């Protein structure tokens, strides 16, 4: 286990890039072989928008990696975080670290984005995609990356997770993002079994349904147990899901890069199924 952590603590940039690009290529190919939906859309044009956002956000992420490194060092120096206060086997420390990073740095921020109006206006860019595939996973407004990183820093300070565990979590997160967004047809029994502990492809796609209440379910990133524990887990028939968000269903809005950047700064639109998403 120690050798694995040393590897991730010193993870080469080329390896991180390979996970991102290689995962996209692999699942892109699988989408052609075992597609969940065979809806015809301009896949390359669609990918162009999503991959442009991916590159921009990756650059921001690299810039913010310094803050993560310094936060883990600060946590270690001042023994902040409960993992510094208890003596447990290393493998258990890693598992708990991964789970807590998933809870605070992924589930909590995702749930919060759906509950606070100004955060939702940034996060909605991810939901405007009407054709979910492997390129959709990292379709985020650059502004969202900043407060997602802030929640990750918060998670590090609570847990005391070292940089090696943080990088391991981020690597697993990239793989799960590819898996859960890819337009692949996973057998129902396999998907349901996987969803007992992890976020499965069909489980996450329910979250991308265009109308409430399903939009506000299944917030998990890697582990599904948080949705089950906090009552946000839902499982529905995969054929009943319509992608997108009801407030921005026009192509000129969700397929225009300039408009996607402007949405967080535009007037809030309440969902069509209720007067307001926010109280």
**Cα 183 from Cα 168, distance rounded (Å):** 25
Residue pLDDT, tens place only, 11-36: 887 888 888 999 999 999 999 999 99
pTM over 0.75: yes
Q: Mean pLDDT throughout 81-99?
A: 93
- DSSP 8-state symbol, 277: S
* Residue 277 confidence (pLDDT): 66
**Cα 23 from Cα 16, distance rounded (Å):** 11
Count Cβ atoms below 10 Å from residue 11 Cβ, excluding itself: 17
Domain ranges of the chain: 2-265
Q: Are 140 and 61 within 8 A, CB to CB?
A: no
Q: Mean pLDDT throughout 168-193?
A: 95
Q: Mean pLDDT throughout 83-110?
A: 94
C-alpha pair distances (Å), 239 with each of 6, 78, 116, 145, 219: 44, 51, 30, 31, 20
Q: Report percent pLDDT > 90 for the chain.
A: 81
């Amino acid at each position: 286990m120690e050798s694995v952590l040393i590897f991730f603590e010193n993870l080469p940039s080329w390896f991180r890039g390979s996970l991102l690009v290689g995962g996209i290529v692999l699942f892109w190919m699988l989408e052609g072989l075992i597609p969940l939906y065979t809806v015809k859309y301009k896949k390359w044009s669609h990918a162009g928008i999503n991959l442009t956002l991916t590159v921009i956000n990756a650059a921001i992420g690299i810039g913010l990696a310094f803050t993560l490194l310094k936060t883990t060092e600060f946590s270690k120096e001042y023994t902040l975080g409960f993992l510094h206060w208890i003596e447990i086997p290393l493998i258990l420390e890693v598992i708990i670290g991964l789970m807590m990073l998933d809870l605070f740095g992924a589930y909590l921020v995702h749930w919060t984005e759906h509950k606070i109006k100004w955060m939702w206006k940034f996060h909605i860019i991810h939901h405007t995609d009407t054709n979910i595939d492997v390129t959709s996973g990292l379709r985020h407004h650059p502004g969202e990356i900043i407060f997602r990183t802030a929640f990750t820093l918060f998670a590090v300070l609570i847990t005391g997770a070292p940089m090696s565990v943080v990088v391991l979590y981020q690597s697993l997160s990239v793989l799960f993002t590819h898996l859960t967004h890819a337009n692949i047809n996973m057998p129902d029994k396999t998907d349901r079994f996987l969803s007992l502990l992890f976020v499965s492809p069909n489980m996450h796609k329910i979250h991308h349904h265009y109308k409430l209440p399903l939009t506000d379910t299944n917030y998990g990133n890697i582990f599904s147990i948080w949705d089950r524990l906090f009552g946000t887990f839902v499982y529905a028939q995969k054929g009943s899901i319509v992608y997108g968000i009801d407030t921005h269903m026009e192509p000129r809005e969700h397929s225009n890069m300039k408009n996607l950047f402007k949405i967080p700064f535009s007037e809030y639109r309440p969902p069509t199924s209720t007067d307001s998403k926010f109280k």
